[in-house]
Structure 1
Amino acid sequence: MEFCDECGSMMQTQGDKWVCTKCDFEKLRDSAKEAAMVTTQSQEASEVIESQGGTEGLPTTDANCPNCENDTAYWYMQQIRSADESETRFFVCTECEHKWREDDH
């Protein structure tokens, strides 16, 4: 990946040149420098971490399910807005597996 010297945008290859998609700045490609670049295509998938999903291992709390009135739910926190916003707490009913957010009413 190459970034424009003029505006900082990501550049694309066109033949023997790098061309900025924003300001049209051009510079010649350097094959030695490009050989040292790491791309997602050249990375090996030697370590794959799979999500277990589901509710296994989640903590439980007292919370009334709006779907079935059960009083116990699994809960977890997730960042769904920008980084300067607080996380949102999600609940999953232990009986019917209905999912809701803390701020849902």
Structure 2
Amino acid sequence: MLLFCPSCSNMLIITQIPAAHCTPEEDELPGQNRFECRTCPYQMVLDRRYYERKTMKLKAVEDILGGADSWKNVDQTDAKCANENCDSRMAYFRQVQIRSADEPMTSFYKCVKCTREWREN
């Protein structure tokens, strides 16, 4: 929770009241917390707990490699499936440059029969 100074609109910080600044006629106790402005003399003694509960919305994660649509118009090649239970020798493949330009492209494969996906450098 952020509070802002009503005088100068700067953000207030939480500080403790030092024992030397407390006077008997004020409602201040040494060690008590207060909101204090760093740029003007505004202070507000904290006489109760301040809290704010906020639930954050999760952002939708984008599939950076294209998701399901990335396999629509790809070629097939002879490749043994990475799934031990599948005997297919055909796979869809595509190549993507995911590392720096001086590194080789990464090949992504998807089995035609069981749709298992794997990749090779």
Question: Does TM-score exceed 0.5, indicating one fold?
Answer: no
TM-score, length of structure 2 as denominator length: 0.39
Pick the structure with greater CA Rg.
2
